[in-house]
Amino acid sequence: MVRVDGKGNSNSLIQVRGLDKKYRRGSEEIHVLQGLNLDVDKGDFVAFMGPSGSGKTTLLNLLGGLDVPTAGTVTVAGDEITHLSAGRLTEWRARHVGFVFQMYNLIPVLTAFQNVELPLLLTKLSKDQRRKHVETALGVVGLSDRMHHFPRQLSGGQEQRVGIARAIVADPTFLLCDEPTGDLDRKSADEVMSLLNTLVDEHGKTVLMVTHDPLAAERAHATLHMDKGVLREAQTADVPVGARR
Amino acid sequence: MKYRHLILRNLFRKKIRTTLTLGSFAVALFLFGLLAVVRGAFQQGVDVAAADRLTVINKVSIIQPIPLSYEDRIRQIRGVSLVTHQNWFGGVYQDPKNFFAQMAIEDDSFFQVYPEFIVPPDQMKSYLADQEGVIVGQKIAKRFGWKIGDRIPIKGTIFPGEWDFNIRGIYHGKRRQDDETQLWFHYKNLDQWVQTKAPTGYWKGMIGWYVVKIQNPDDAPRIAKEIDTMFSNSPWETKTEVEKAFANNFAKQAGNIGFLVTAIGTVVFFTLLLVTGNTMATAVRERTRELAVLKAVGFSDNFVLFLVFAESLVLAIIGGGLGLLLAKFMTLGGDPTGGMLGAFYLPTASLVFGIGLALLVGIASGFFPALSAMRLRVVDALRRV
């Protein structure tokens, strides 16, 4: 269940309270997020929509521990992350967050296998264990036969699927997807969205996604609209995800 | 190391640029190696100089003689254990280009003062028995293809005339850096020429310089002062120095090689620093998003710092190592002047120093790019396209 009124129960996987973010650009102060509240349960799939500059990506960055708020708190699985040091936040990200980017952001000189393996290099897994995890992740995204290909040898959709495999390989608490279909054609976008649905429905993943694409947002359990730093409304899916396709 | 492929793949993503940077390192270190060899060749005399030997020359110049009669008086000074004398002969073998040192020596004392030169006993016996006998260094023997028993003609310049010598011995040094390019012959041979063939009074009773072996190196300043005081206000005043200072002054006659080598080396390494620094800065700038992604997925700031430094150091080690190996290889053939330089090799100490320099340049050139990569804010970097 997704709520934006700040009245969610304390068992929510992600709990945001009074989140404020201000930037200073020269002498001008920009209030990007204004006292935002959010509750997301485990297994939810939430889409954030809204015009450019409304604060969607800023919210994603704060939820992913890439940025720190001006005020307010973000609590994930019981850990309040807003007061962690930069070093602790980095460690926290490695354990809890899987990022999926619009531009895929794969390392071009590494193969699909090596790109997916990256987050596992931070763990104490042996080489053999890492190999098994990577093969599993690539199997989930349907790219077992492309694991030794370099990004330039893959289509955009395949690159994004490698990006998703990289995001899930360390089994993070939740996935943050910043316009995952923004750079893809319709067919590839549908494939990626189907993959995200599979991760949520069959693997129990929690996914928070920023998108401009109404068709992509339709695949989520809930769509939240961000406008001028405020989450205006929550539209919770009342039909099974499969039926919304 | 599980990050090896990440470092190497990043390093070689721009093959031409990396190759050129590696080439810069290799050329710089190759040049460093050669300069170290040249410097070593000129410094050789200084390096092998003993602390317990003093050199006594004419105060005016080393080419001016001093009396043979000083020998006994020097020997009387407290702390002096041995005295020997030498004459620079300056002859020409076949062609003036075939330069090498030829000296008339006092047989009894010379080999006691210079124990680092080894002559096989049977050859020494043969040399002592032959008035026209000479002992030559193994490098000069190799250079001219001389062997024991050969008779070699040398045209005298300071002591004019045709001189014929018989090679009776070939010496070698105890240490690698010992000079093995000299020719020694009996002083009594030279003296006989002075007595019988020289113009009246020419070099009569005179020698080139003395080498004084002392019991305790700490006494060197006192003994040097006593020697020079003893002969002050005479027609042949002396200048006494410890052998190292003497050798150093001798080497400086060819110019301040050390300064030249240091100056050239500094310019080369500074240029290398700029080239490599620019390469690393460009490499980091091009990968801003990738570095940000690494940080986003959980790699620490320190890891990113390490990554950039590692690339810079790998460049330094591979490029520098290649350059030094090439320099080593080039010097394996020995002295390209055919024996004018007593020592011509790249010492291990210079190799180690060269690698140290390369690493230093690697660290210095990677410093600012690594720092900027470390300080990179993920949010800002991901926003850039």
| pLDDT attached to residue A241 | 38
Question: Is B300 within 8 Å of chain A by CB?
Answer: yes
Tell if the CB–CB gap between A101 and B382 is shorter than 8 Å: yes
| Joined tokens for residue B56 | 């006594």
Question: Is B2 within 8 Å of chain A by CB?
Answer: yes
pLDDT one-digit tens code per residue, B349-381: 889 999 999 999 999 999 999 999 999 988 888
Tell if the CB–CB gap between A94 and B382 is shorter than 8 Å: no
Measure the CA–CA gap between B272 and B251, rounded to whole angstroms. Answer: 30
| Joined tokens for residue B209 | 């310089």
Inter-CA distances, B39 with A181, A184, B30, Å: 65, 64, 14
Kindly indicate the confidence band of residue A243, based on its pLDDT and cuts at 50, 70 and 90.
very low
Q: Does residue A217 fall inside a structural domain?
A: yes
Q: Does residue A90 fall inside a structural domain?
A: yes
Which residues from chain B sit within 8 angstroms of residue A114, using beta carbons?
A: 5-6, 9
What is the total residue count of chain A?
A: 245
Q: Does residue A35 fall inside a structural domain?
A: no
CB atoms within 10 A of CB B237: 14
Inter-CA distances, B32 with A70, A91, B25, B89, B358, Å: 55, 45, 10, 36, 10
pLDDT one-digit tens code per residue, B98-130: 889 999 999 989 999 999 999 999 999 999 999
pTM exceeding the 0.80 threshold for the entire prediction? no
Q: Does residue A175 fall inside a structural domain?
A: yes
Which residues from chain A sit within 8 angstroms of residue B299, using beta carbons?
A: 90, 94, 118, 122
CB atoms within 10 A of CB B153: 12
**A172 to chain B: closest CA residue:** B297
Number of domain units in chain A: 1
| Joined tokens for residue B196 | 């019988």
Q: Does residue A104 fall inside a structural domain?
A: yes
Measure the CA–CA gap between B288 and B378, rounded to whole angstroms. Answer: 9
Structural element, H or E, at residue B358: helix B348-375
Among the partner residues B290, B296, B379, nearest to A93 by beta-carbon distance: B296
Q: Output DSSP code: residue B145.
A: T
Tell if the CB–CB gap between B298 and A90 is shorter than 8 Å: yes
pLDDT higher than 60, residue B385: no
DSSP B51-78: TTEEEEEESS-TTS-EETTHHHHHHTST
CB A178 within 8 A of CB A102: yes
Tell me which residue range forms the domain holding A197: 41-68+85-244
Tell if the CB–CB gap between A119 and B297 is shorter than 8 Å: yes
Measure the CA–CA gap between B37 and B31, rounded to whole angstroms. Answer: 10
Question: Is B380 within 8 Å of chain A by CB?
Answer: no
pLDDT one-digit tens code per residue, A111-139: 999 999 999 999 999 999 999 999 999 99
CB atoms within 10 A of CB B383: 12
Which residues from chain A sit within 8 angstroms of residue B296, using beta carbons?
A: 64, 66, 93, 99
* Neighbour-count burial of B273, counting CB atoms closer than 10 A to its CB (0-12 exposed, 13-18 middle, 19+ buried): middle
Inter-chain CB pairs, A–B, below 8 Å: 65
pLDDT one-digit tens code per residue, B203-245: 899 999 999 999 998 898 999 999 999 999 999 999 999 887 7
Q: Does residue A16 fall inside a structural domain?
A: no
Kindly indicate the confidence band of residue B3, based on its pLDDT and cuts at 50, 70 and 90.
confident
pLDDT higher than 80, residue B197: yes
Amino acid at A145: D
Question: Is A53 within 8 Å of chain B by CB?
Answer: no
Q: Does residue A74 fall inside a structural domain?
A: no
CB B238 within 8 A of CB B227: yes
| CATH number of the domain bearing residue A62 | 3.40.50.300
pLDDT one-digit tens code per residue, A175-218: 999 999 988 999 999 999 999 999 999 999 999 999 999 999 99
| pLDDT attached to residue A242 | 37
Structural element, H or E, at residue B307: helix B301-331
Q: Output DSSP code: residue B199.
A: P
For residue B141, how far is the Cα from the chain centroid? 21
Mean pLDDT of chain B: 89
**A94 to chain B: closest CA residue:** B298
pLDDT one-digit tens code per residue, A58-108: 999 999 999 999 999 999 999 999 989 989 999 999 999 999 998 899 999
Which residues from chain B sit within 8 angstroms of residue A119, using beta carbons?
A: 297-298
DSSP B230-247: HTTTSSS-EEEEEHHHHH
Question: Is B290 within 8 Å of chain A by CB?
Answer: yes
Q: Quote ipTM for the complex.
A: 0.88
Among the partner residues A108, A109, A122, nearest to B299 by beta-carbon distance: A122
CB B49 within 8 A of CB B243: yes
Q: Does residue A78 fall inside a structural domain?
A: no
